[in-house]
Amino acid sequence: MFGIALLNMDKTELIWCVSKHSLSKFGRCAPTIRLGADIIAASEHVRLLGVTLSSDLSLVKHVSTVSATCFGHLRQIYVGSGSRWTRDQQRHLSTHL
């Protein structure tokens, strides 16, 4: 079957980005899109090629996600080496990530 694209609802996301002026004009109601029998509702955050995009076009959620992932990887490396972190090391690392 060539030419037929199938929609994977687990991976399909919709983001609605508007200016503050338009947001005040239309309210907080986010649109939905109907594709055949499937309905896709807008989300506050979506992932695209590993980057988390927010509807307000800020990178706060993306930076938070990347920092948490990095901290997890650093913890795995440190625990795997057989060492233990002191509370000061943990506090220092968590405030800088």
Kindly report, residue by residue over 13-69, the tens digit of the pLDDT: 888 877 777 767 766 667 788 887 888 888 888 888 888 888 888 888 989 989 888
Q: Which residue has the higher pLDDT, 40 or 5?
A: 40
Q: How many domains does the chain have?
A: 2
Q: What is the pLDDT of residue 2?
A: 53
Question: Distance of CA 63 to CAs 13, 44, 60, 90, Å?
Answer: 20, 15, 5, 19
| Structural domain span for residue 84 | 59-97
Q: Is residue 46 part of a domain?
A: yes
35 and 65 share one domain: no
Strands 51-54 and 45-48: antiparallel
Q: Is residue 1 part of a domain?
A: no
Question: Distance of CA 71 to CAs 4, 49, 59, 82, Å?
Answer: 42, 21, 18, 17
Q: What is the pLDDT of residue 94?
A: 65
17 and 42 share one domain: yes
Q: Is residue 39 part of a domain?
A: yes
Interatomic CA distance for residues 95 and 66, integer angstroms: 14
Q: Is residue 2 part of a domain?
A: no
* Residue 93 pLDDT exceeds 70: no
Q: What are phi and psi of 92, to 5 degrees?
A: -65, -45
Q: How far is CA 49 from the centre of its chain?
A: 11
46 and 65 share one domain: no
Q: What is the pLDDT of residue 77?
A: 81
List strands edge to edge, sheet with 38-43: 14-15, 38-43, 32-35
